[in-house]
A and B are shown apart, each in its own frame.
Chain A
Amino acid sequence: MGETKPVENTEKADSKKAAKKEAKKAEKAAKKAEHKAASGQSQSVVADENDVSVGKYGNLPLIRSDSTNTNKDRKFIYVKELNKSLAGNDVWVRARLHTVRARGKQCFIVLRQREFTVQLLLNVSETVSKSMVKFASNITKESIIDVEAKVVQVPTPIAACSQQDVELLASQIWVVSASAPQLPLQIEDASRPEKGDEAEGLNIRVNQDTRLDNRVLDLRTPTNQAIFRLEAGVCRLFREVLTRKGFTEIHTPKIIPAASEGGANVFTVSYFKGSAYLAQSPQLYKQMAIAADFDKVFTIGAVFRAEDSNTHRHLTEFTGLDLEMAFNYHYHEVMLLIGNSFTEIFKGLRDQYQTEIQIIGQQFSVEPFTFLDPPLVLHFDEGRRLLGEAGVEVGPEEDLSTPAEKLLGRLVKAKYDTDFYILDKYPLAVRPFYTMPDPETPRSSNSYDMFMRGEEILSGAQRIHDPQLLTERAKHHGIDLKKIASYIDAFKYGCPPHAGGGIGLERVVMLYLGLDNIRKTCMFPRDPKRITP
């Protein structure tokens, strides 16, 4: 300890680091004491005598935004910015310790910042002591560390890191926030490619439930980072595209007085002395906005479905992107606008999110999403004919079953090479009562479904905007008129003809990326069996 004093004194003289240094010193002493107790006495003595790196490593005190901190102006470089052009410079980097491996007088650390990784090397030298290397090699995985290092170009690319051209030679290393030594899941395991039939190599995977239980760790994998950036992109593009087309964003209540659709699958919440329901669709409010002359509206918000279905594509709470629009004479105006908006969103994703798609593709090998511009529109009967050719008969007034939908998706893909298409003119019998019947063929309705990779993502229709016809249709469906009185009343004072539809954000992202489970695209999924975390 005697040797460290003079160094500290000189530093004290030229800067105001005193307080911090004192703290560090104390910490270091504590650490060393601990260290001594743990390891052999003789070794630590040697370390003490030769430690030239004191003040260059250790645990930082808790950062509480104190104004006296001298490192305020320190410039940090992002890991993704590290490249050849910075070679020879000293930089500061704050990142997570991804892996650490000590070998004799050397210590290799991989630093990770989101999906970017870089190799950090500690060599015992005149400025780096053995004990510093030892300290570094004992930092737990996933700890956040500050590193000062020199950027060095490497002769052969480092295959294991994203920054392959350079590595860092550490001169200081400080722990900002340490991780617990035991991790419930390893980030490498969670980000290992799932390519199916790979016999060689490690095949350790992380179970979906383990991932969800430890979502914070799981979300650190490059793939998850990319998935949720892409999801944000879908939301942003949806807003941008529709705003450009003259839509107004509205917010609809999530606590509603009565079930809007059906009624069996709503959550009941206690509401003071009575009870209320959680909205399972913003439909009624969208339509009311149309009746209130907003012309074109969209809304983004949570939607709740109390369906006890444990499938790969159902959640009890998801984000709904809904839109509704008044039209002049034909609901195709709306249908094609929605279709084109999708195409624009897909184009935006294709052009702006290539890196994300590529990263996700490394872990989950999926075919890239294909689409046509303008989107392909098939008549329901045409779809039936395609299915009939493949040996699946669907009646003219029958809905498509899920397997039939998937098969149709594959047939359309084989024929037109598009993963996105619109199926128009569904039979009236399989649509809700507020769907406008087709004036030309009585068994059809003015309704459409949109599909991605053979799974339905949007179901929309021209709604009946005439209270009389609406009452008639409701009676025909055997619906209690008293329950939907407020719905019918909304059209009493004149309402433009309108149509619309809604999509589930998570499902769209899942299908766009070709993932197999909707829980992969929901940050904190809610299903009948999970309400934590």
Chain B
Amino acid sequence: MNGPLKMYRTRQVVRHDIAVQLPDCMYKLKNIHAARNGMVEQRTDHVSSAPKKVDICDQVKQFLKNNQNLPEMAALELRQEEILRQLADLKKQMDNIRNNLQISKNAAVTSQIIKPKQGPPPSLPDVIINASPTNPPYSLELVQKLWKNYMFLSVKSYTHSSLSSLTENAQQLTKTLESFKPGNVPKINVKLIWKDVGANPELVVAHSRIFGEVNILRYLARVTSDYLNYETCNNVHEIDALLDVCYNIVKSKTKTERASLLQVLNKSLGKSQWLGDRSQISIADLAAYSAIKQATNPSEVNVNLGKWMQRCVACQ
């Protein structure tokens, strides 16, 4: 025994050096350990570890040393340099943008925190929405469509005893929502209760209620991933303002009041595809679509908004 410790010498229990009588009733196989890079000792009676520790790193280094002059290696190296340079460029650009927008670094950090988790939708408890048949929450229709590949809003509608009958619009919406064909995605149960709650639908959560359709949309956007989430967008404030406009459209009593609010929407839409000068549909579009459908006559909507409504209906 070597080493600093002194130990008792014991008799050898297992002996390796005796010759083993191999049976001859089987096929002979080549010793698979024998031919490995010459690292394994040429001993046939038993397996033993290599005399010195072979590191994979060393092997790679060895390999690289041997192949330094290969043209593929040079190309690969070049490509890596290129990518690193591009990344640096990107970082510089981002820094410039940040300076231009005068957002401090701290703000950027907070927005990072709000950023919702990507990936599969959270398992939500059942959603209960109380809505008046006079103000059907049409945005659900669009949410259902937009989430087609993300989450299935399985809507079941009920009529509360405070109502004796449903309006035609409410019945129509119920039919559309209930007959929606889901893809193979997680399901969330939505109980839509038609009830006399005035212009503001309610969302029942744990022990309190969320009032107003736009706020329900905000809730849905926040608890789910970024399909509808707008809080990481550049124009958060604009979308929020648009949502408030939608809220006021539903609340509005006179035509002139509505006209000015619709003008705001129209201005925001401008020549772009969606509200807020965006190229993608956002929560503001859903809210505005629903508000306009609820509160206005077709004659109050101008051509530009009319076309945009069409786009909303057709969105996928």
Interface residues of A in 305-337 (CB under 8 A from B): none
Interface residues of A in 32-57 (CB under 8 A from B): none
Q: Would A350 and B193 count as touching, CB distance under 8 A?
A: no
Give the distance to chain B from A375, nearest Cβ to Cβ, in Å.
8
A351, A370, A414, A415: the one contacting B160 at CB < 8 Å is: A370
Secondary structure of the B contact surface, majority rule: strand
> Which residues of the partner chain A approach B294 to less than 8 Å between Cβ atoms?
none
Q: Complex formed: what's the CA distance from A347 to B164 in Å? A: 8
Given A351-B164, A415-B128, A417-B130; A372-B193 close (CB under 8 Å):
yes
Q: Would B160 and A418 count as touching, CB distance under 8 A?
A: yes
Query: Is B33 among interface residues, defined by CB-CB distance under 8 A?
Result: no
6 contacting pairs across A/B (C-beta < 8 A): A370-B161, A376-B191, A414-B207, A415-B204, A416-B204, A418-B158
Query: Is A373 among interface residues, defined by CB-CB distance under 8 A?
Result: yes
> Which residues of the partner chain A approach B164 to less than 8 Å between Cβ atoms?
347, 350-351
- Can you name the residue of chain B whose Cβ is closest to the Cβ of A372? B158
Give the interface size class of chain B.
Answer: 10 to 19
Query: Is A174 among interface residues, defined by CB-CB distance under 8 A?
Result: no
Query: Is A369 among interface residues, defined by CB-CB distance under 8 A?
Result: yes
> Which residues of the partner chain B approach A388 to less than 8 Å between Cβ atoms?
none
Query: Is B195 among interface residues, defined by CB-CB distance under 8 A?
Result: yes
Query: Is B234 among interface residues, defined by CB-CB distance under 8 A?
Result: no
Query: Is A298 among interface residues, defined by CB-CB distance under 8 A?
Result: no
- Can you name the residue of chain A whose Cβ is closest to the Cβ of B166? A373
- Can you name the residue of chain A whose Cβ is closest to the Cβ of B205? A415
Beyond known contacts A351-B164, A376-B191, A418-B158: 10 more, CB 8 A cutoff: A346-B161, A370-B162, A371-B161, A372-B193, A373-B159, A373-B160, A376-B158, A414-B207, A416-B193, A416-B204
> Which residues of the partner chain A approach B158 to less than 8 Å between Cβ atoms?
372-374, 376, 416, 418
Q: CB within 8 Å of A: which residues of B?
A: 128, 130, 158-162, 164, 191, 193, 195, 204, 207
A residues contacting the other copy or chain, number (CB 8 A): 17
> Which residues of the partner chain B approach A371 to less than 8 Å between Cβ atoms?
160-161
> Which residues of the partner chain A approach B162 to less than 8 Å between Cβ atoms?
370
Query: Which of B159, B161, B191 has the largest number of chain A CB atoms within 10 A?
Result: B161
Give the distance to chain A from B165, nearest Cβ to Cβ, in Å.
10
Q: Would B204 and A372 count as touching, CB distance under 8 A?
A: no
> Which residues of the partner chain A approach B159 to less than 8 Å between Cβ atoms?
372-373
> Which residues of the partner chain B approach A351 to less than 8 Å between Cβ atoms?
164
Give the distance to chain A from B137, nearest Cβ to Cβ, in Å.
17
Q: Complex formed: what's the CA distance from A369 to B160 in Å? A: 11
> Which residues of the partner chain B approach A347 to less than 8 Å between Cβ atoms?
161, 164
> Which residues of the partner chain B approach A416 to less than 8 Å between Cβ atoms?
128, 158, 191, 193, 204
Interface residues of A in 348-376 (CB under 8 A from B): 350-351, 368-374, 376
Give the distance to chain B from A349, nearest Cβ to Cβ, in Å.
10
Give the distance to chain B from A197, nearest Cβ to Cβ, in Å.
27
> Which residues of the partner chain A approach B160 to less than 8 Å between Cβ atoms?
370-373, 417-418
> Which residues of the partner chain A approach B128 to less than 8 Å between Cβ atoms?
415-416
Q: Mark A366-390, 1 if CB is under 8 A from B, else 0.
A: 0011111110100000000000000
Q: Complex formed: what's the CA distance from A417 to B195 in Å? A: 10
> Which residues of the partner chain B approach A373 to less than 8 Å between Cβ atoms?
158-161
A372, A414, A415: the one contacting B161 at CB < 8 Å is: A372
